[in-house]
Amino acid sequence: EAGPGPAWPSKCPWGAPKAAPMSCSLADVMSEQLAKELQLEEESAAFPEAAAVAEGPFITGENIDTSSDLMLAQMLQMEFDREYDAQLRREEKKFNGDSKVSISFENYRKVHPFDSDSSEDEVDWQDTRHDPYRADKPTTTPKKGFIGKGKDITTKHDEVVCGRKNTARMENFAPEFQVGDGIGMDLKLSNQVFNALKQHAYSEERRSARLHEKKEHSTAEKAVDPKTRLLLYKMVNSGMLETITGCISTGKESVVFHAYGGKSTNEEDKVIPPECAIKVFKTTLNEFKNRDKYIKDDYRFKDRFSKLNPRKIIRMWAEKEMHNLTRMQNAGIPCPQVVILKKHVLVMSFIGQDQAPAPKLKDVKLSSEDMKKAYYQVLNMMQQLYKECNLVHADLSEYNMLWHEGKVWLIDVSQSVEPTHPHGLEFLFRDCRNVSQFFQKGGVTEALNERELFNAVSNLNITADNEVDFQAEIEALEKMNEDHVQKHGKKVSMFPSDGDPP
C-alpha cells in the first residue's frame, strides 16, 4: 500500500497466515502477484541480514530448536529496544542541553532497568581478570559502637547515619521492587519507614514469585532464556565455538552444555580447546537465595555484595568459579581450564571425550588399586587446594569429582571459599567427611577418618576424639579468627609456617 509512512513492508518478515482463496477477476490476481513480487524485492533489500539469519544455521546442532521464529523475533526485538533506548538517551541529552531543569525520558525506555545490559552493569571477563586474591583487608567496624571524640562523637544509633544506612539497604530488595531514584540524593529513612518498606518489599517479592512461577515452568524445558541464547549465539557466530551440541547436565543452579571449540577471536588469547563445557548459571534468582552464606561472608566479595542486585550476584558466582579454577590450574590440580567468562556464562575445557563427559566418581566402578590411587590423589589435591590455592572446595564429594585419563579431576568450585571464611573450616570438615566416607566405603583401608583428614589438610592438629567436640573446636577457631578480624582488621594466617606436606 502506498502511504506516507516509511517504505516498511506491511507484512511480517517471518511470514503471515495464508489468506483464504477468494474468487476474483484475472486482473486482480495479476496485480496482487505483481504487488507481492514488488514487496518481496523490497523486503530483501531492507532486511538482507534478517533473511540470512532466518535461513542460515543459528546455533548449529539439529536437536536445539533455536531457529524458531519467536526466538529470532525476541532477539531482534531486544537489539531494537537497546538501540531505541540509546537513541532516546541522545534525544534526552539534546533536549535538555545545559538547562538547569531537565526532563527525564526514563519512562519511555523500552528495556527494563534491571534487564538492561548497559556496560556499567557488566561483570565481564575484561573487568575481572584481576583475582581478588589478596584483596584489601576487610574493613572493621569498631566494637565500641562509636567513632570520634567529645561532641563530634557518632554512635551507630546516630539518626543521620542510621537513616543513610537504611536507604542504602533498600537497594538489597528484590529487583522488581521499585524504590525510586533516591540514589545520590542523600535520603535518610527512619527505622519505622524502612521496616514498613521492607515488609512490603518481601510480600511483593513473594507475590511476584508466584506470578512468575507459571511463566518459568513453561520454559523450564529449554533451560536457557533468550538473553543467554543470544550470548551463546554470539559465541558461535564469532567462531569461538564451532557448534553447541547439547546439554550435559541440568542442575538447580546451572545448566552445562557441550560444545566443539572454534578459533580464538584475537591473537593474544590462548587456543580454544577442541571440546568445551559451557556452564550457564541460572538467572532464576530463587535457587540462589540459599547460597548467600558462601558469598556474603567471603571478604573478597564483601565490598561488592552490598551494592549488587541479585542478577549481578549470579554473575559473581560465575566469576568466582573462574577465579577459583584459575588458582587450581596454577597449582597444577587437574580441573577444567577457563576459556572465557561472559556475564553468567563460563566456558571451560571439557573433561571427557567425543561429547561423552567423564563419569563422576560415584558412577564409576574402580578396581581396588585405582580406588587407592584415587584416594591418595584426592588427599594430595585437598592439601594443595588448601595450602597453594588458599581454598576450601566446600562442595567436595563423589558428585563433583570426575574420573578421566586415570585420574581424578575436581569441578564445580563456584562456592569454594578461603579457609579464613567465617565458615570455611566447617565447610572443610564437611568435605573431609564426604571424602572419608566415600573411600572407606569403597574399601580403601588406608583412608584416614574425617578428623584425621581434616588435620592432615589444615595442619591444625585438633585433638578432640569425637565428632561433637571436634566440631565445637572448629567453631571456636572460626570465632577466634572473626574476633581477631574485628580487633585488628586482618585475618590470622591459618597456614603453618613450614611448607612440608604431612
Q: Report, as residue numbers or ranges, the catalytic residues.
A: 395
Instruction: Choose the contact partner of 277 out of ligand ADP, Mn ion, none; CB within 5 to 8 A by kind.
Output: ligand ADP
Q: State which residue, 163 or 334, has the beta carbon closest to ligand ADP.
A: 334
Q: Which of 412, 431, 450, 478 binds Mn ion (CB under 5 A)?
A: 412
Q: How far are the Cα atoms of 10, 17, 23, 139, 311 from residue 20, in angstroms, in the given order?
A: 18, 9, 10, 73, 48
Instruction: Choose the contact partner of 462 out of ligand ADP, Mn ion, none; CB within 5 to 8 A by kind.
Output: none
C-alpha cell, 500: 612440608
Q: State which residue, 227 or 360, has the beta carbon closest to Mn ion.
A: 360
Q: How many residues form the binding site for Mn ion (CB under 5 A)?
A: 2
Q: State which residue, 167 or 434, has the beta carbon closest to ligand ADP.
A: 434
Report in angstroms how near the CB of residue 400 gets to Mn ion at its nearest.
Answer: 5
Give the nearest residue (CB) to ligand ADP. 251
Give the nearest residue (CB) to Mn ion. 412
* Measured distance CA(247)–CA(65) in Å, rounded: 13
User: Residue 243's Cα: distance from chain center in Å?
Assistant: 22
Asked whether 386 and 392 are in contact (CB, 8 A), the reply is: yes
String marking each residue 74-93 x if it binds Mn ion according to CB under 5 A: --------------------
* Measured distance CA(64)–CA(66) in Å, rounded: 6
* Measured distance CA(138)–CA(421) in Å, rounded: 11
User: Residue 208's Cα: distance from chain center in Å?
Assistant: 22
* Measured distance CA(236)–CA(226) in Å, rounded: 15
Instruction: Choose the contact partner of 226 out of ligand ADP, Mn ion, none; CB within 5 to 8 A by kind.
Output: none
Instruction: Choose the contact partner of 256 out of ligand ADP, Mn ion, none; CB within 5 to 8 A by kind.
Output: ligand ADP
Spell out the residues 6+ positions from residue 66 whose beta carbon is closer than 8 angstroms to its own: 58, 59, 229, 233
**DSSP characters over 418-456:** -TTSTTHHHHHHHHHHHHHHHHHHTT-TTPPPHHHHHHH
Instruction: Choose the contact partner of 348 out of Mn ion, ligand ADP, none; CB within 5 to 8 A by kind.
Output: ligand ADP
Q: State which residue, 413 or 474, has the beta carbon closest to ligand ADP.
A: 413
C-alpha cell, 416: 569454594
How many other C-beta atoms are found inside a 10 Å radius of the C-beta of residue 49?
Answer: 9
Q: Is 254 in the site for Mn ion (CB under 5 A)?
A: no
String marking each residue 335-364 x if it binds Mn ion according to CB under 5 A: ------------------------------
| Site residues (vs ligand ADP, CB under 6 A) | 248-249, 251, 253-254, 256, 277, 279, 336, 348, 350-352, 357, 360, 400, 411-412
Report in angstroms how near the CB of residue 261 gets to ligand ADP at its nearest.
Answer: 12
Report in angstroms how near the CB of residue 360 gets to ligand ADP at its nearest.
Answer: 6
- Maximum pairwise Cα distance, the chain: 100
Q: Which of 324, 400, 436, 481 binds Mn ion (CB under 5 A)?
A: 400
Q: State which residue, 193 or 223, has the beta carbon closest to Mn ion.
A: 223
Q: State which residue, 398 or 412, has the beta carbon closest to Mn ion.
A: 412
Spell out the residues 6+ positions from residue 81 whose beta carbon is closer than 8 angstroms to its own: 110, 111
Report in angstroms how near the CB of residue 61 gets to ligand ADP at its nearest.
Answer: 17
Burial (Cβ within 10 Å: 0-12, 13-18, ≥19) of residue 394: buried
Q: Is 398 in the site for Mn ion (CB under 5 A)?
A: no
C-alpha cell, 259: 560444545
Q: Which residues bind Mn ion (CB under 5 A)?
A: 400, 412
